[in-house]
Amino acid sequence: MAPSTFEWLSGLLEPLLECRDPIGLTINLSAELRLGIGLYRLSTGSDYSEIATRFRVTDQVAKFCSKQLCRVLCTNFRFWVGFPNSVELNSVSQNFKDITGLPNCCGVISCTRFNLSTQESIAAQIVVDSSSRILSIVAGFHGHNSNTKVLKSTTLYKDIQEGKILNSTPVYLGGVEIPQYLVATNNEYPLLPWLIIPYDDPVPGSNEERFNAALRIPRISMLKTVASLRNWGILSKPIEEDFRSGVAYIGACAILHNALLIRGDYSGLCDDLVDYTVNDHGLVQRNGSKTEEITVDGCLIRSALATKQ
């Protein structure tokens, strides 16, 4: 994080970090120091004793400042990872079209899993744009759930199904109506009119193979986002906290990820990509089964998009 970003963030959070100290615990620390303690916990994953020693505070204060930062971010700045409105989505889809040739694509969706020290894991569903900015993140599901089950349990799914979002004017390809849609990074999602997945085993040289190749381009945006989140020390290893605190750490890191991008600070954006399908970074929940649901409209829309390639 650049010094200017830290100063900006400190000024923004100051009134929230300096209020509501716990009863019986007097914390005579500036907002900058409180923020520094919290960010150190997130960026390094250090335990509270090590943080206490480094910042010359008690373990109790180190723990409070770390959790307070997560609470402030997740309570007051969730809008930084809020789904774009219709006007903003036009820009998102245009950027995807510029790099892939695919019209009306409004994001890439996948589900990654973060381990806890208790051998549990937390599933986090993420939607990103072409710049690796997080458009939506929902964490709090147990990691054993499939990507589809997580998806169908979210407000995002309900809102799209009810036409509350991704509801702008469609485009037409070969007479087929193409609504706004998301693309998935793998085949462990349903094929829906608004959720497009790659083809299974396309014939070499076919439109389907070229379409899959086009989908690999926005997939890089998701890889960068997940790699960047895992670059935070607290998420780079099993989280030594309870499930609820683990969810808060994921949310806080996601919000800060977007905050850095908003500032034009790319110090936290990871370009050293390793394919998760080979190294099992938890982005894919494999269950050995094919797609759970394939709709007729989804097939028609995907076919029209593939033919365009």
Task: Out of 178-182, 235-239, 293-297, pick the least confident.
Answer: 293-297
* Confidence at residue 294, expressed as pLDDT on a 0 to 100 scale: 83
Q: Calculate what percentage of the chain has a pLDDT beyond 70.
A: 92
Q: Tell me the C-alpha distance between 103 and 286, whole Å.
A: 29
Residue 288 predicted with pLDDT over 50? no
What sign has the CA pseudo-torsion 155, 152, 191, 197? positive
* Confidence at residue 275, expressed as pLDDT on a 0 to 100 scale: 54
pLDDT in tens, 61-80: 999 999 999 999 999 999 99
Residue 291 predicted with pLDDT over 60? no
* Confidence at residue 5, expressed as pLDDT on a 0 to 100 scale: 92
HSE (side-chain half, CA atoms, 13 Å) at 252: 25
pLDDT in tens, 83-102: 999 999 999 999 999 999 99
Task: Out of 52-56, 266-270, 303-307, pick the least confident.
Answer: 266-270
Residue 135 predicted with pLDDT over 60? yes
Banded model confidence at residue 198, pLDDT cuts 50, 70, 90: very high
pLDDT in tens, 28-39: 889 999 999 999
170 and 294, same domain (yes or no): yes
Residue 50 predicted with pLDDT over 90? yes
163 and 71, same domain (yes or no): no
15 and 141, same domain (yes or no): no
Banded model confidence at residue 27, pLDDT cuts 50, 70, 90: confident
Backbone angles phi, psi at 166, to 5 degrees: 55, 45
* Confidence at residue 283, expressed as pLDDT on a 0 to 100 scale: 44
209 and 134, same domain (yes or no): yes
Domain extent at residue 50: 3-78
More confident residue, 119 or 260: 260
Asked whether residue 139 is domain-assigned, the answer is yes
Task: Work out the average pLDDT over 273-297.
Answer: 54
* Confidence at residue 309, expressed as pLDDT on a 0 to 100 scale: 61
50 and 119, same domain (yes or no): no
98 and 220, same domain (yes or no): yes
Task: Work out the average pLDDT over 134-150.
Answer: 94
HSE (side-chain half, CA atoms, 13 Å) at 198: 22
Final residue in a domain of this structure, among 78, 95, 128: 78
Domains held by the chain: number? 2
Task: Out of 11-20, 24-33, 248-257, 274-283, pick the least confident.
Answer: 274-283
Residue 292 predicted with pLDDT over 70? no
144 and 281, same domain (yes or no): yes
| Mean pLDDT, the chain, integer | 89
49 and 109, same domain (yes or no): no
223 and 304, same domain (yes or no): yes
32 and 119, same domain (yes or no): no
Specify the residue for token string 């099992």: 280
CB–CB of 218/96 below 8 Å?
A: yes
As a whole number of Å, the CA-based R_g of the chain is: 21
